[in-house]
Amino acid sequence: MQGPGRPSSAEVVLPRADGADLRGRTPEWKWQLAHAVRSSRELAEHLDLCDAERAGAERAERDGFPLAITPYYLSLIDRGDPSCPIRRQVVPHVAEREVTRGDLVDPLGEVAHEVAPDLVQRYPDRALVLATDRCAVYCRFCTRSRMVGGAGGTRTLEHLTPAFDWLAAHPEVRDVIVSGGDPLTLTTDRLVAVIARLRRVESVETIRLATRVPVVLPQRITAELLGALAPYHPLWVMTHFNHPKELTPLARQGLERLANAGFPVMNQSVLLRGVNDDAAVLAELFRGLVRCRARPYYLLQADPAKGTGHLRTPIATGVALMEQLWGRLSGIALPKLVVDTPGGFGKVPIGPDYVIARRPGVTRFRTPRGIEVEYFDPAPE
Ligand SMILES: *Cc1c(COP(=O)(O)O)cnc(C)c1O
Ligand code: SF4
């Protein structure tokens, strides 16, 4: 196929550092964002939608949580398979209109924990900056659907000034997570301006970029971006791969580039019904991430965001999955299963219980292979 300005396959076109080619074409990632599917009509051109998806997409377009899928991520969807795990993450479903017991508009109580505009603090030593409300794709399970894709757009430095001032006045905060929305949808200049401003707060030691872009728009991981961010290390990248199908050659290359540029990469997966609630799928995902030098960090129980009941699993499912994986998967490939407690009171780890009895000075365990053993405490001093 020879679209406008597209090179023929015989031509060798070297990318520039910013991801544009030598003729100065728009960088591929910007092309992807500009051509994201955002309407039910376009979506129906690409996929055979079932009635529930069509109604979901029309609702998303009208008044629900918006619809956006990059051409790249769309290309990973199995066109004829309504249960495709990529599809379930991004194609709206009419069930989003349903209310499930416990559903909350703001499941993590972020509005209540806002200490300055778009600065959320839920732990004494950490804070979260919401640098934009835009994402490359809108994930149907998003915890922040109340504000993501809304009217605010990217936050200006002026808008974030009270957040920076608050951080400067609270030196106990050493770890700042830049999130959104997706911070990697910002232009490099915009993003660097935010990071540079954060770096001027001396008490901030670690900065984490929380992003789904390596999954849904890996073309964004350009040499230009990495070069611009490198002066601000230590910068950690928190990615969000949920299924092994997402680890395409392009995505693996993005992870490789991040690791080569000195970014520790941690992955946070969300446990989703019909997407990754299967031990073999999770094992393949976690092993694949480790091969790309990305550490599976958390497996998150899905937050009870309004309209996500159809995508969530019972707590017992996650615990059973961890039971299947523990002891069978390398420790570096095994994330912690956590529940971010509704209301915003912090994350708690859950999992199978290997302690079967506690008596004073003696703890009885069962091992992953079902052997029972005792551990004796040392004698009190
Ligand atoms: C999840 C989260 C953090 C970071 O938690 P870690 O367990 O340190 O990864 C910090 N602040 C907020 C508001 C969060 O939601
Ligand atoms: S990328 Fe993150 S913030 Fe954006 S829609 Fe997906 S889960 Fe929500």
Answer yes or no: are the C-beta atoms of 361 and 376 closer than 8 Å: yes
Per-residue pLDDT at 150: 85
Answer yes or no: are the C-beta atoms of 312 and 272 closer than 8 Å: yes
Q: Considering the chain, what percentage of its residues have pLDDT values greater than 70?
A: 94
Least confident of 3-17, 169-183, 220-234, 245-259: 3-17
Q: Which of 209, 203, 219 is nearest to 264 (CA)?
A: 209
Which ligand 2 atom lies nearest to the CA of residue 181? 3
Per-residue pLDDT at 21: 53
Q: Considering the chain, what percentage of its residues have pLDDT values greater than 90?
A: 88
Name the token pair of 212.
């789904």
Query: What is the residue-averaged pLDDT of the chain?
Result: 93
Per-residue pLDDT at 58: 96
Per-residue pLDDT at 64: 76
Q: Render pLDDT for 291-350 as a digit per residue (tens, 0 to 9).
A: 999 999 999 999 999 999 999 999 999 999 999 999 899 999 999 999 999 999 999 999
114-348: CATH number:
3.20.20.70
In testing the pocket of ligand 1, which one of 347, 348, 350 has its CB within 8 Å of the most ligand atoms?
Answer: 347
Q: Considering the entire predicted model, what is its pTM?
A: 0.93
* pLDDT value at 163 more than 60: yes
Per-residue pLDDT at 2: 35
* pLDDT value at 224 more than 80: yes
User: Residues 313, 316, 317, 320: what is their CA dihedral angle, to the nearest 10 degrees?
Assistant: 170
Answer yes or no: are the C-beta atoms of 218 and 265 closer than 8 Å: no
Catalytic residue IDs: 122-123, 126, 135, 139, 142, 144, 303, 340, 347
Give 126 Cα–ligand 1 centroid separation in angstroms. Answer: 7
In angstroms and rounded to an integer, the radius of gyration of the C-alpha atoms of the chain is: 22
Q: From CA 299, how far away is CA 317, in angstroms rounded?
A: 12
State residue 197 phi and psi, 5-degree precision. Answer: -65, -40
Q: Render pLDDT for 27-48 as a digit per residue (tens, 0 to 9).
A: 999 999 999 999 999 999 999 9
Residue 181 C-beta-side C-alpha neighbours within 13 Å: 23
In testing the pocket of ligand 1, which one of 106, 120, 126 has its CB within 8 Å of the most ligand atoms?
Answer: 126
Per-residue pLDDT at 44: 96
* pLDDT value at 1 more than 50: no
Per-residue pLDDT at 10: 39
Does residue 60 line the site of ligand 2, with CB under 6 A?
no
Per-residue pLDDT at 49: 95
Beta strands in the chain (DSSP E): 114-116, 119-123, 126-130, 175-179, 206-210, 235-239, 265-271, 294-301, 336-340, 347-350, 355-359, 362-366, 372-376
Q: Render pLDDT for 80-115 as a digit per residue (tens, 0 to 9).
A: 888 999 999 999 999 999 999 999 999 999 999 999
β-strand pairing of 114-116 with 294-301: unpaired
* pLDDT value at 143 more than 70: yes
Name the token pair of 167.
């951080």
Which ligand 1 atom lies nearest to the CA of residue 108? 15
In the chain, CATH 3.20.20.70 sits at 114-348
Which ligand 1 atom lies nearest to the CA of residue 297? 9
Answer yes or no: are the C-beta atoms of 174 and 206 closer than 8 Å: yes
